[in-house]
Amino acid sequence: MIEVRWHGRGGQGAKTASHVLAVAYLKEDKSVQAFPEYGPERSGAPMLAYTRVDDRPIRRHCAVTQPDVVVVLDPSLTREVPVTSGLKSEGRILLNVVDAGEAGEVARTYPGQVLGVSADQLAKEAGTRFPNVVLLGAYAGWVGTPSLAHMEEALIEVMGHLPAKAKDASVRAMAAGYAAGERGRANG
């Protein structure tokens, strides 16, 4: 089983990202679960969402306490929230960074793999303001699954209600993230 924890701020799309990843893995015949952690819901407040993926049916409904992968949607969160808490030491953390130094700071204390991606910048270049789609692409490129094609299909399904222009921008942003993730994988 792979367990992913998403750190975001209310309104940034962490819940949507957890769901898109689940739908993409479903397309690869996996058993999936996606759920946010609900508390007092405020725009901008730190929040958590989770994705579980397995080859066997997922039955447990308890919290994810020792994730394999952590994805951080907002650069400022690493200073506010213990983002590596419980993260398996042989796991990985994917960070939205403003500059590469931020990823280095996390890498100093966390023994697993660390990848920083300028998700805000890449999103902006693609014509969207949401870093979640960039990080979904980066996840696929870095982890190696699910495929970019399945991730795109999942994105379009989940965001089916958006106008075509927004969907196109999201697909471009996801592709840019995927390329950044692949580079991260090549660099080990």
Partner 1 sequence: MAKTMLGVEVLTGGEATAHAMRQIRPDVVPIYPITPQTPIIQTFSRFVADGKVDTVLLQVESEHSAMSAAVGAALAGARTMTATASQGLALMVEIIYIASGLRAPIVMAVGNRALSAPINIHGDHSDGMLARDSGAVQIYAENAQEAYDLMVMAPRIAEHPAVLLPVLVGQDGFSVTHSAENVALLRDEEVQDFVGPYEIPYPLLGGRPSSQGLFAMPDAYYEIKVRQILALEAAEQVFADTARAYALRFGRHLGAIEPYRMDDAERAIVLIGSTAGTAKDVVDELRERGEKVGLVVLRLFRPFPHQALADALGGVARVAVLDRATAPGTFPPLFADIRAGYQGSAELRSYVYGLGGRDTAPQDIEKVYAELRQPAKGGIRYLGLTGEDQHGES
**Interacting residue ranges for partner 1, rule: CB under 8 A:** 19, 22-23, 26, 31-36, 38, 57-63, 65
CB of 38 to partner 1, least distance (A): 6
CB of 2 to partner 1, least distance (A): 15
Query: Hey, which residues does 113 pair with through a beta bridge?
Result: 92
Q: How far is residue 21's CA from residue 41's CA, in Å, rounded to a whole number? A: 22
Q: Which is nearer to partner 1, 29 or 90 (CB)?
A: 29
Q: How far is residue 148's CA from residue 50's CA, in Å, rounded to a whole number? A: 20
Q: Which is nearer to partner 1, 58 or 107 (CB)?
A: 58
CB of 62 to partner 1, least distance (A): 5
Q: Which is nearer to partner 1, 56 or 108 (CB)?
A: 56
Q: Which is nearer to partner 1, 154 or 176 (CB)?
A: 154
CB of 19 to partner 1, least distance (A): 6
CB of 30 to partner 1, least distance (A): 9
Q: Which is nearer to partner 1, 60 or 129 (CB)?
A: 60
Q: DSSP letters along the chain, please?
A: -EEEEEEEETTSSHHHHHHHHHHHHHTTT-EEEEEEPPSS--TTSEEEEEEEEESSPP---SPP-S-SEEEE--GGGGGTS-TTTT--TTSEEEEE-SSHHHHHHHHHH--SEEEEE-HHHHHHHHT-S-HHHHHHHHHHHHH--S-HHHHHHHHHHHTTTS-HHHHHHHHHHHHHHHHHHHHHHHT-
